[in-house]
Chain A
Amino acid sequence: MSREERNMRAGDYVLGLMDETERARAERDLTIDAEFRDAVWSFASRLEALDGQAQEPVAEGLWSRIAAEVAGVTQQTRLELVRSDMAAAGVPLTPPDRHGALGLKRPMSGFFRGARGTALAATMLAACALGYVIGQASVTARDPEVVVVLLNEQDVPGALVEAYADDRVRILPLTDFEVPAGKVLEVWTLFDADVGPVSLGTMASSREAVLSGPDLPAPRPDQLYEITLEDAPRSSAGRPLGPILVKGLAVSPPR
């Protein structure tokens, strides 16, 4: 998405000029596209002055009606919200039922012992969904080379990674990784088994981040990415020492 197009869509979204389909798409993009999000919220904040100082009296019972309704409503996690955005795009982000949608049997111990059936299928499904969304959000020369859904040991998506040809890596955590004091999240990739895992950088917390990794060959499908928990400031050995929190294999997003 060009800067002009991004600003135009942000304008239509904030002004309320989108139809329902466009708006659903914009809201999906808001969850995953940091540049679009910036464009929307900076514009919305600037227009706030037009709301004026007007205050309407607040009816007596309004808060109690809201409180009563809210009492029966469970808050959704960020992961659930991103998932439902993905589902709205037509593809679920959750791993398929163990013997379900794709008719794949649960591999012995899943992804972590090398048998990759269900987890890989889930990764590819999710990456297709992601590609769909990113395709809407940012069709530019800066499209990621690969996208990766990193799964935890239960095959639940824990982070989305977009890896770019210029060595940048964007990480969108989908879960709150617990990072105790003195620890960091370190992101790794294995682009060559002979070289071993290479650090792409560290993150202090479960916040979206863009890392400018070292100069490596362009990321390829099936390349392994993982996030481990290491002692700050980073693994002293230059290879993963701490526990693997999530890992996944890259796929090329549909163009």
Chain B
Amino acid sequence: MATEAGAAETGHELVFHPMDQFIVKPLFGDGPVGLFTVTNVTLWMAITILATIALLVLGTSKRATVPTRTQSVAELCYGFVHKMTEDVAGKDALPYFPYIMTLFVFIVFSNFFGLIPGAFTTTSHIAVTAVLAMLVFLTVTLMGFFKHGLGFLGVFWISSAPLALRPVLALIEVISYFVRPVSHSIRLAGNMMAGHAVIKVFAAFAPMILISVGVGIVVTPLSILTIAAIYALEVLVAFIQAYVFTILTCVYLKDALHPHH
């Protein structure tokens, strides 16, 4: 490292560990991470569950006609996802609303809790988002075939296109259909991981003033300001990615319910 010479003199050095925040570790003890080990993943998912219960169950326990603040937020959340499901996927998608709501609530809470300094962001892991995306993909595909039989394949056959183009388009549609879970999952995990890693990189520059006052006087405030700016952006991203994941689920669901374009 370039700073190692300076570090030797002052006892400080810049430490870059932007990916350490994504390490899965056991909560108790120091053993290996097995399938059922209670890890930081367990902790933050449990916090997500508790937050869900606090907002949507305890927050609405008064059943007030004139809502309290918490109940307002719970109703807003409900209305937001309910309207999205109805508008994007149609009225006949409403039986799947609890499932879509589950996805939204889980992702939005995980994203926001991940923004707490020192927290573990479960949705920054491809294993988590891939399972979420595969669940959507499998549900939608199986449900499509279950509802329409082979007619579901009509989703690939674009009847509004000229006949000569249809086989080509069908090939593209098939490819794009199978790429869906990949993009669906990597979009969320990638966004969360990138934002958090970038914040860590800038955070690593912040103690520059301890190494070199001359450089640090510029670099330290700049990196702190940048952290604040990226953090603000990440707050936005946390919500937008949950929204995007949910609305894409609705779009895929619509394709399965109405496969003919």
Q: Do A and B come from one complex?
A: no
Which A residues form the contact surface with B (CB < 8 A)?
A: none
